Amino acid sequence: MIKVLFFAQTREQIGEEGINVDADNLTADALRDQLCQQGEQWAQALQSGKLLVAVNQDMVPMETLVKSGDEVAFFPPVTGG
């Protein structure tokens, strides 16, 4: 089981703080693709190239392998001034 968290605009679009996904040994990007299959609002919120990802609270590239027991967080890039 992978714990998936959503933050900021991504959370608002999906309407969920987080979910548990029964998956193992796939990349963060493959997990994102799998989540996009849950509907149009999920696909919009989790568009490829528009998110950052953290695995176990460490920023990682989307190609990072995730496994059962990991915590994966998706969130939009933050800008500031």
Amino acid at 45: A
E strands within the chain?
A: 2-6, 18-21, 26-27, 52-55, 58-60, 65-66, 71-75
Instruction: Kindly state whether residue 81 falls inside one of the protein's structural domains.
Output: no
* Structural contact between residues 4 and 66, judged by C-beta atoms closer than 8 angstroms: no
pLDDT along the chain (81 residues), means of 10: 95 94 94 95 92 96 96 84 53
Instruction: Kindly state whether residue 22 falls inside one of the protein's structural domains.
Output: yes
Q: What is the CATH number of the domain that holds 35?
A: 3.10.20.30
Q: What is the pTM of this model?
A: 0.91
Instruction: Kindly state whether residue 43 falls inside one of the protein's structural domains.
Output: yes
Residue 20 structural domain: 2-75
* Structural contact between residues 75 and 7, judged by C-beta atoms closer than 8 angstroms: yes
Instruction: Kindly state whether residue 9 falls inside one of the protein's structural domains.
Output: yes
Report how many domains make up the chain: 1
